[in-house]
Structure 1
Amino acid sequence: MKEIKPLMAINILCVSSMMAFLAVVGPIVRELNLQEWHAGLMVALAGVAWVLLSRFWGKKSDYYGRKTILIFSIFGFFLSYLFLAGYTNYAIINPPSVIISLIALVFARVMIGVFYSAIPPVSNALIADKVEPSKRTSYMASLGAANGIGMIIGPIIGGVLAVYGLTAPLYVATILPLIAVVIIYFSLEPSKKREETKEKAIHFLDKRLRLPMIASFFTMYSIVTSQVCLGFYILDKFHLTQVQTAKSTGYILAVIGVVFILTQIVVSKLKNISSHTWLILGSIFCAIGYFLVSIITTQIQLTIAFSIGTAGLGMLMPAFLAITANSVQEHEQGVAAGTVSAAQGLGIIIGPLLSTILYEIKPEIPFIFSATTFLVLTIISLSYKKKEAIRC
């Protein structure tokens, strides 16, 4: 598949852009006199946009072509991020009222969610278009490795550039999606357009997609919980300054990004292991990792615990994406990918709202709850694998 390299490049750029903001969101929230639940609200409403539009983008890419939708959505992502950087810079220099800052930041995050929600399902559908079923897990893992690289670059941007001001990482990150648009325009061939039909689209609760939807929901719920709570957890656990917290958050996210990439590489190479097996192993690793996060006492221990959980995520994500692609027919790939992506968006909605509420009770509770969800996923995955074995 010759499109895999440019596809990986645009995902690296866009994930880097997203992660750069997450590395400084805690300090920015505190700087603008907002509260922790405000950060949760921003991410949650972006998740609403993700849920509502993932299926829409996937279905439109089935008919108008993957390249067209990617160019349109990533350019919109660039414009939204530019507004976020510009307003944050203004608000730090000339602090407005809390309500104005909240409205502006929520608007920016929602628009980012609107346009970013197209990138995962359309990228996954493009792989499904070009790759035979037996090799999809490997290619999904390669795309996951690209996301992992973005998880490294983004926090480095956020952590290193934070010394020049909390908005410096945002301005640098704004440029990245614009570069992605150029890469798409010159590197991807126009996708074949299909005629719209009256055939009924995949139902949101289609039984073929229940397992990957459950897995994607739990996975994104826990990822967002980590992203929203990590900065506050470091601030409150180790009593660092805002700049030190931004650096520490960035470096920890960078380390786990390396772990995520290495795990994805392993998954892509071990082609004889089934997607369902990776799903089970990933769930176990995640449960262990998130539980350990709740009992750490040093930053090194925190990094190790998150690394264990991230290794599990590296197994989970290509597994449920491959299960999705292999569960539907060719003309359903876009909407199927969008449906599972919408489940991820649901995790983005519930994750920050619930985790910030739990955090106010006790900082460790959100991570214990995440560990519990992965124990549940382990049981569900084992049940599905047993059913598959009986059918065979």
Structure 2
Amino acid sequence: MVEQPASAEQSASAGTTGSATGSAAARPQVPLLLSLVFLVYLAQMTLSPIIAPLAREAGLREWQIGATVSAAAVMVVLTSQFWGKRAQTHGTKPVLATALVLGATTMALFAWAAALGMRGVVTGAALVALFVMLRGVGFGLAISAVAPTAQTYIARVTDTEETRVRGMAGVGAVQGVAMIAGAIVGGVLASFGLLVPLIVIPALLALAALVTLVSLRPEPRHELIEHPARVRPTDSRVWPFLLAGFGMFTALGFFQIIIGFIVQDRLALDGRMTALTTGGVMLIAGIGMVVAQVVVVPRSGWSPATLLRVGSTISVIGFGLLAPNAGLTLLLIGTVFVGFGLGVATPGYTAGPTLLMRRDEQGGLAGLIGATNGLTFVIAPALSTALYGVWPLLPVVVSGVLMAIVAVFVFVHPRFRVLREAPARGD
């Protein structure tokens, strides 16, 4: 189909939610929503510093824990659009509450399975199956609701490019803060034993579910959308952003899943010191991301396209610094560059296409973004851990090459030069 230029009314409608009226819009609960997002990602990131030593303590190989993470990502790909549309038809509160209760239940069962594995009660294929079903399928289904629901809500209650970018940056910022806090919490709790963080994780998710049920207001019925529009990934307003985001988060996924193995093998550490040091590395990455999204993005006033260009370029430099095996200092510097760059680029990726979509398309778009992010973690964990077994530097090289391709793409593709010319819906 040939796209037609938008009318003034269409452009205005694409850049606004058009329905941010009434008491809920007058007093949007964005801070509360971001707090809930924080608790969910804090729970997820608390596991990250211990995942490598936990796998080895339980007798699992690198590719098996990679397959577990990939299984969670498959669920994100399969269900993100469902959750995004569900948030528009049923509202933010019931979607989040359902997802959080599911997440708390599955992670409590995962802690039990991990304890059995570490004690040698359950081993081999049975243990892998439990890990995949609980941390993979169950928790993946739960967490796939969080980002699309939050992004749909923010798209509904914001009506300018500046507020939309700030709101989407807020989601990224709390994820970065969660990375920092999770690195600290996971690393410190692991010093008391690898099972301790696993007990805390479902408690955090249960707390988030309780806060959701008690404090989050449901949307007025007139603001719900009975039949949200389907958004195709091939839509010309959308696919360039999805492709850029796919490249960015695949590069991140290649690095993120192997960071514990890099720390342990490059620095020759035992399990507990690996967890503590990995927590420190993740802390640095989180600081870079938070500084970018709390300080740089809101104050810069940059368009989504500029955010993508600047952020991807900085991340390329970071991956270059991670390549040499030159000790902890260079590893930390490279990590902070990667985190800072992605912190700058991500709000451009998530906010940019929302400015081109109608209100009834926002849920489908948020689901597409969530599915794209999930798809990267279907591919990256299993592939990066397999490549790490071939040559430990190979996943880092692949990450850097992918990020460089993204940087070139967002500089040259015309969509990022005409972003503010919101076109009519195209296929």
TM-score (norm 2): 0.88
Contact 1:233 1:363 in 2 (8 A): yes
Deviations 1:212-254 (A, max 9, x none): 2112212222232222101111111111111110110011111
Contact 2:410 2:416 in 1 (8 A): no
TM-aligned CA deviation for residue 211 of structure 1: 2.0
Map residues 292-331 of structure 1 onto 2, 5 A cutoff: 292-331=321-360
Partner of 1:167: 195
TM-aligned CA deviation for residue 380 of structure 1: 1.2
Is 1:131 equivalent to 2:158 in the alignment? yes
Map residues 5-44 of structure 1 onto 2, 5 A cutoff: 5-44=31-70
Which amino acid is the alignment partner of residue 176 of structure 2? Answer: G
TM-aligned CA deviation for residue 181 of structure 1: 1.4
Which amino acid is the alignment partner of residue 286 of structure 1? Answer: S
> Residue 231 of structure 1: which of 260, 263, 276 is its match?
260
Is 1:51 equivalent to 2:80 in the alignment? no
Question: Gapped runs of 5+ residues in structure 2?
Answer: 1-26, 422-427
Contact 2:80 2:145 in 1 (8 A): yes
Structure 1: distance between partners of 2:258 and 2:211: 34
More helix by share: 1
Partner of 1:180: 208
TM-score (norm 1): 0.95
TM-aligned CA deviation for residue 266 of structure 1: 2.3
Contact 1:91 1:101 in 2 (8 A): yes
Map residues 1-392 of structure 1 onto 2, 5 A cutoff: 2-109=28-135, 110-134=137-161, 135-193=163-221, 194=224, 196-197=226-227, 201-384=230-413, 388-389=417-418
Question: Gapped runs of 5+ residues in structure 1?
Answer: none
Structure 2: distance between partners of 1:281 and 1:391: 18
TM-aligned CA deviation for residue 74 of structure 1: 1.3
Structure 2: distance between partners of 1:391 and 1:137: 13
Deviations 1:98-129 (A, max 9, x none): 11110011111221011100000110110000
Structure 2: distance between partners of 1:5 and 1:263: 19
Structure 2: distance between partners of 1:162 and 1:391: 48
Which amino acid is the alignment partner of residue 124 of structure 1? Answer: Q
Q: Are the structure 2 counterparts of residues 236 and 86 from structure 1 closer, same or farther at C-alpha, using a change threshold of 3 Å? A: same
Counting aligned pairs with the same residue, the percent is 28
TM-aligned CA deviation for residue 391 of structure 1: 9.0
Deviations 1:334-389 (A, max 9, x none): 11100111011110101112211211121111111111111111111112357635
Structure 2: distance between partners of 1:280 and 1:44: 28
Q: Which of the two has higher C-alpha Rg?
A: 2
- Count of residue correspondences: 391
DSSP 3-state at the match of 1:204: coil
Structure 2: distance between partners of 1:66 and 1:54: 14
Structure 2: distance between partners of 1:14 and 1:49: 17
